[in-house]
A and B are shown apart, each in its own frame.
Chain A
Amino acid sequence: MSILISEQTTFIVQGITGREAVNLTRECLDYGKGARVVGGVTPGRLGREVHGVPVFDTVAQAVEDHGEAIDGSVVTVPPAFTKDAVFEAIENGIGLVVIVTERIPRRDVAEMVELATLRGARIIGPNCLGVIVPDEVKMGGIGGPARDAAKAYTPGPVGVISRSGGMTTEMSSTLSAAGLGQSTAVSIGGDAIIGSTYAELMPLFEADDHTRAIVIYTEPGGRMEAELARWVLENDSRLPIVAFMAGRFMDEMPGMSFGHAGTIVEGKEDTATEKIARLAEAGITVAEEISQIPGLIRERLEAGSGSAAGAGSAAGAGS
Chain B
Amino acid sequence: MRFFEYEAREIVKRAGIPVTRYGFARTAPEARRIAEEIGGPTVIKSQVLTGGRMKAGGVQFADTPEEAERHAATILELEINGHMPRGVLVDPRAQVKHEYYAGVVWDGIRKRPVMLFSDMGGIDIEEVAEGHPDHVGRGHFSNLLPLSDYRAKQTIAQVGVTGSPLTRITPILTRLARLFVENDMTLAEINPLGELEDGSFVALDAHMDMENEARPRQKALLAELGVRDEETRQAREPTEFELAGEAVDAMDHRGVAGNVTEFDGNLGLVIGAGGGSLTLFDAVRKYGGRPANYCEIGGNPSVAKACGLAKLVLSKPGVERIAVMMSIVSNTRVDIVARGVIKACLELGMDPAEKIAIFRIPGAWEEEGFKILDRYGVEYADRSVSLHEAARRAVEKIQGTAASDGDAGPEGAAADGQARTGAGPDSFRQTTAEVGSEKEV
Contact = CB atoms under 8 A, between A and B. Distances in A.
Interface of A: 20, 79-80, 103-107, 109-111, 113-115, 118, 141-145, 148-149, 151-152, 162-167, 169-170, 173-174, 177, 190, 192-193, 197, 217, 219, 222-224, 226-227, 230, 244, 246-250, 252-263, 266-267, 269-270, 288-291
B235 A254 contact: yes
Interface string B400-441: 000000000010001001110100010010111111011001
Interface string B181-216: 100101000000000000000000000000111101
A164 B276 contact: yes
Contact of A105 (B213, B383, B417): B213
A107 B109 contact: no
A164 B277 CA distance: 11
B111 A107 contact: no
B277 to A, nearest CB: 6
A145 B366 CA distance: 13
A149 B328 CA distance: 10
Contacts of B286: 288
Interface stretch (B32-40, B338-346, B384-392): B384-392
B275 A166 contact: yes
A9 to B, nearest CB: 21
B364 interface: yes
B181 A107 contact: yes
21 contacts: A107-B184, A110-B111, A110-B112, A111-B144, A114-B112, A144-B331, A145-B330, A148-B364, A166-B276, A167-B327, A173-B383, A219-B278, A244-B279, A252-B418, A253-B425, A255-B428, A256-B235, A259-B275, A259-B278, A260-B274, A289-B386
Given A107-B214, A226-B438, A267-B126, A256 B331 contact: no
A218 to B, nearest CB: 10
A259 B281 CA distance: 11
Interface size class of B (residues with CB under 8 A): 35 or more
B282 A247 contact: yes
Given A249-B417, A252-B418, A258-B259, A291 B275 contact: no
Most buried by A among B278, B432, B435: B278
Contact of B111 (A114, A165, A269): A114
B234 to A, nearest CB: 7
B370 interface: no
B109 A224 contact: yes
A254 B112 contact: no
A269 B259 CA distance: 25
B277 A248 contact: no
Given A114-B112, A167-B279, A267 B433 contact: yes
Contacts of A291: 386, 388-389
Interface of B: 106, 108-109, 111-113, 126, 142-144, 181, 184, 186, 211-214, 216-217, 234-236, 259, 261, 272-279, 281-283, 285-286, 294, 296, 298, 326-331, 363-364, 383-384, 386-389, 410, 414, 417-419, 421, 425, 428, 430-435, 437-438, 441
Contacts of B330: 141-145, 148-149, 166, 169
Contacts of A246: 275, 278-279, 282
A110 B433 contact: no
Nearest to A152: B328
Contacts of B214: 105, 107
B143 A110 contact: yes
Contacts of A141: 330-331
B213 A261 contact: yes
Contact of A223 (B109, B274, B326, B410): B109
A25 B113 CA distance: 35
A103 B286 CA distance: 31
Given A152-B328, A252-B418, A267-B432, A290 B279 contact: yes
Given A114-B143, A223-B438, A259 B277 contact: yes
Contacts of B108: 192-193, 222-224, 262
A166 B283 CA distance: 17
B285 A249 contact: yes
Contacts of B435: 267
Given A114-B144, A148-B330, A258 B278 contact: yes
Given A107-B181, A246-B278, A291-B389, A253 B419 contact: yes
A117 B281 CA distance: 38
A162 B261 contact: no
Given A170-B387, A259-B274, A249 B211 contact: no
Contacts of A144: 329-331, 363-364
A103 B326 CA distance: 22
A256 B234 contact: yes
A81 to B, nearest CB: 12
B249 to A, nearest CB: 14
Contacts of A151: 383
A256 B421 contact: yes
Nearest to A149: B330
A218 B18 CA distance: 43
Given A167-B279, A246-B278, A290 B363 contact: no
Nearest to B183: A107
Contacts of A142: 330
A106 B211 contact: yes
A174 B386 CA distance: 8
A101 to B, nearest CB: 11
Nearest to A291: B386
Contacts of B386: 174, 289-291
Contacts of A105: 184, 211, 213-214, 217
B274 A166 contact: yes
A105 to B, nearest CB: 4
A173 B81 CA distance: 45
B109 A197 contact: yes
Contact of A252 (B217, B296, B414): B414
Most buried by B among A80, A106, A163, A252: A106
B278 A253 contact: no
Nearest to A227: B109
- Shortest 4 CB-CB contacts between residues of A and residues of B: A144-B330, A164-B275, A255-B235, A167-B275
B179 to A, nearest CB: 12
